[in-house]
Amino acid sequence: MSFISVFDVLGPNMIGPSSSHTAGAAVIAGLAQKMLAPPLTRVEFTLYGSFAKTYRGHGTDRALLGGILGFSTDDRNIRDSFEIARQRGLDFTFTPNETETDLHPNTVDIHMENAAGQTLLVRGVSLGGGKVKIVRINGVEVDFTGEYSAVIAVHQDKPGVVAHITKVLSDRGVNLAFMRLFRESKGHTAYSIIESDGRLPEGITEELKTNPYIHDVMIVQS
């Protein structure tokens, strides 16, 4: 029998009526915004399944925007996230997609752009009880929860790159909890996701980028 914690029964501290549609939505967007250098100037949300049908009534739209703004699930500012986003000059849109039905019912695509013109597309899924998964980054299928601090290295699928990543982390005393590699196809773009038991040290991004095949590094602190 699997273990069920008190948090699975009671759910997270949150603003809004639904742990799946509000708390989970805020967590997904909060993870997404950590992957792109601030400040963000534009974000487009595409909602699927149950998210698409009920996002206004359940406050999923406000929760998603609140997460992009960096608000935690219990932050009362989520209620005013539309106005706060406008005050900060963040352009945002919500588009329900009810034609694609083969996805998890609580799925959202988040397309972000920052002031430097960089863009990132993240797909997240709300699993219930405030738990989430990031399942796609820029079209590449991935799998991580954000429950641990994570390094996401975007690199070419070449021999020695993963060894370089693990050596840098080991030299800095990072204790690995999980490590997975996801790729488009052999020899093309790959995402190495390394989750750590503790917070990741400062300056690790620059050390990882000393390998010429590593194109970008995202740090997501839990």
Q: Are residues 30 and 75 in the same domain?
A: yes
Rg for the chain, CA atoms, rounded: 18
**CA gap 35, 66 in Å, rounded:** 16
Single residue among 106, 138, 170 that ends a domain in this structure: 138
92 and 33 Cβ atoms separated by less than 8 Å: no
Q: Are residues 37 and 130 in the same domain?
A: yes
pTM of the model: 0.87
6 in any annotated domain: no
Query: What are the tokens at 95?
Result: 């588009």
Q: Could you state, in chain order, the average pLDDT of each consecutive group of 10 residues for the chain (222 residues)?
A: 38 49 90 96 96 90 96 91 97 95 92 97 92 94 93 96 96 94 89 94 95 96 87
Q: Which domain does 190 fall in, by range?
A: 149-220
pLDDT of amino acid 118: 96
4 in any annotated domain: no
Counting every residue, how long is the chain? 222
Query: What are the tokens at 11?
Result: 């759910």
**CA gap 180, 202 in Å, rounded:** 22
Could you say which DSSP state residue 208 is in?
H
3-state secondary structure 37-95: CCCEEEEEEEEEHHHHHHCCCCCHHHHHHHHHCCCCCCCHHHHHHHHHHHHCCCEEEEE
Strand duo 91-97 + 106-114: pairing: unpaired
62 in any annotated domain: yes
Summarised one tens digit per residue, pLDDT across range 48-75 is 999 999 888 888 999 999 999 999 988 9
CATH code at position 17: 3.30.1330.90
**CA gap 78, 66 in Å, rounded:** 5
105 in any annotated domain: yes
Q: Are residues 170 and 100 in the same domain?
A: no
- Dihedral, CA atoms, 183, 179, 44, 72, nearest 10 degrees? 180
Q: Are residues 41 and 127 in the same domain?
A: yes
Evaluate the CA torsion angle 82, 85, 86, 90 in order and state its sign.
negative
Three-class DSSP category at 21: helix
Single residue among 80, 109, 138 that ends a domain in this structure: 138
Q: Are residues 88 and 173 in the same domain?
A: no
pLDDT of amino acid 184: 82
Q: Are residues 134 and 160 in the same domain?
A: no
30 and 70 Cβ atoms separated by less than 8 Å: yes
Three-class DSSP category at 5: coil
163 in any annotated domain: yes
Q: Are residues 123 and 182 in the same domain?
A: no
Count how many domains the chain has.
Answer: 2
5 in any annotated domain: no
Q: Are residues 97 and 154 in the same domain?
A: no
